[in-house]
């Protein structure tokens, strides 16, 4: 297994439109890195640049410290699992899995041995003579994984490999994938737009937008301390509530102030002293961090109550028309149209500059 590094890599697809802009990323040996972002953010292009299926217009791609920009995909010894699985339809499961070994001119008894071993590992041993069109979606996905594992590559690249599976199978496969990564101690680079998948799988999460990295870090850290409003809203379901307002300083204390309410900000908040009074800021809090409280400073009118078994959400509007979502105890039964007050603990407040969207408390 190997380290994979991208240094200031840029890829343009058409004049003036950069799919990836000066992207720098370092994936350590044995890490499970997830590239997460909305459609068109450049995550798949980044993966293809590492794979060698795309050539960078600028920057360097390094595997184990060696520059591989000039190397075609077949010489990089990386395995890629495609979103479509890309199984060869005219080959059986065994032939699909053994194709790479055949290209490496391994003797046929060695190919058979390794195909057998890998198929047992993935529970595919009964399906070796079947063709891809005789397999279910989950089985195809496992064959695609098997094709990657069998060759013992320097790193695994996975391009939304779970997106074609139904919800239950996806959840099961996520666990299998994690177990597999631990067993192989492999370097995994995984692309997805599904944040639940990303949060669950990643050792290191890379959130991308418009060809750039917005934030890198452990998923928990990114969730708790999003670097900007984009990451704050993108990560988490339901997404973070954000309210526009200004900072007001009074008697040494700092307050978030908008037309309808005022909220004292914790004194421990870093960088708060450096901000001028009256600067436009965005206050954010996660739905699960808010609670209904008669003394709460934010008021909202309930528009919709959503019950999801163990959880209940209320959707409503703050007085100045901003949409808010709050997670509540399922036993509480608020009425549609009711005006409620909510409070947010100071440690759960996120503050961002309105102009740049960057986090104040960095």
What residues make contact with other proteins under the rule CB under 8 A? 51-53, 72-74, 78-80, 82, 84, 86-90, 99-100, 103-104, 147, 151
Nearer to other proteins by Cβ, of 83 and 297: the residue is 83
Nearer to other proteins by Cβ, of 52 and 59: the residue is 52
Parallel, antiparallel or unpaired: strands 262-264 and 298-308: unpaired
Retrieve residue 304's tokens.
């919709």
Q: Does 238 sit behind a cis peptide bond, omega within 30 degrees of 0 on the bond before it?
A: yes
Question: Distance from first CA to last CA of the chain, Å, rounded?
Answer: 34
C-alpha span between 249 and 100 (Å, rounded) = 65
Min CB(51)–other proteins separation in Å: 6
Min CB(73)–other proteins separation in Å: 4
Min CB(53)–other proteins separation in Å: 5
Min CB(56)–other proteins separation in Å: 16
Nearer to other proteins by Cβ, of 51 and 298: the residue is 51
Nearer to other proteins by Cβ, of 8 and 104: the residue is 104
Question: If we measure between CA atoms, which residue out of 128, 222, 144 comes closest to residue 176?
Answer: 144
Nearer to other proteins by Cβ, of 55 and 323: the residue is 55
- Per DSSP, what are the bridge partners of residue 343? 291
Handedness of CA 213, 214, 218, 219 (dihedral sign): negative
C-alpha span between 244 and 280 (Å, rounded) = 7
C-alpha span between 306 and 170 (Å, rounded) = 24
Min CB(93)–other proteins separation in Å: 14
């Amino acid at each position: 297994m190997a380290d994979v590094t991208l240094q200031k890599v840029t890829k343009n697809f058409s004049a003036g439109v950069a799919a990836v802009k000066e992207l720098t990323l370092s994936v350590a040996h044995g890490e499970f890195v997830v590239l997460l972002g909305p459609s068109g953010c450049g995550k798949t292009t980044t993966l293809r640049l590492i794979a060698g299926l795309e050539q960078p217009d600028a920057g360097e791609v390094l595997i184990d410290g060696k520059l591989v920009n000039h190397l075609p995909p077949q010489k990089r010894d990386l395995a890629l699992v495609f979103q479509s699985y890309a199984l060869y339809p005219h080959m059986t499961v065994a032939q699909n899995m053994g194709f790479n070994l055949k290209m490496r001119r391994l003797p046929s008894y060695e190919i058979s041995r390794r195909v057998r071993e890998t198929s047992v590992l993935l529970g595919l041993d009964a399906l070796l003579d079947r063709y891809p069109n005789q397999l279910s979606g989950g089985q195809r996905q496992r064959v695609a994984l098997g094709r990657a594992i069998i060759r013992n590559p320097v790193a695994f690249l996975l391009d939304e490999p779970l997106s074609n599976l139904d919800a239950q199978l996806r959840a099961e496969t996520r666990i299998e994938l994690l177990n597999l990564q631990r067993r192989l101690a492999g370097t995994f680079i995984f692309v997805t737009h599904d944040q639940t998948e990303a949060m669950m799988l990643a050792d290191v999460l890379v959130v991308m937008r418009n060809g750039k990295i917005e934030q890198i870090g452990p998923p928990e850290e990114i969730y708790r301390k999003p670097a900007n409003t984009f990451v704050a809203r993108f990560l988490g379901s339901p997404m973070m509530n954000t309210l526009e307002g200004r900072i007001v300083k009074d008697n040494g204390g700092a307050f978030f102030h908008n037309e309808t309410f005022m909220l004292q900000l914790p004194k421990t908040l870093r960088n708060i002293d450096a901000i001028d009074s009256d600067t436009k800021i965005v206050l954010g809090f996660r739905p699960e961090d808010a609670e209904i409280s008669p003394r709460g400073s934010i008021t909202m009118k309930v528009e919709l109550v959503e019950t999801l078994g163990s959880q209940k959400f209320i959707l409503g509007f703050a007085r100045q028309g901003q949409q808010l979502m709050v997670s509540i105890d399922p036993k509480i039964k608020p009425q549609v149209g009711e005006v409620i007050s909510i409070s947010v603990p100071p440690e759960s407040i996120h503050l961002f500059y309105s102009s740049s969207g960057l986090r104040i408390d960095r």
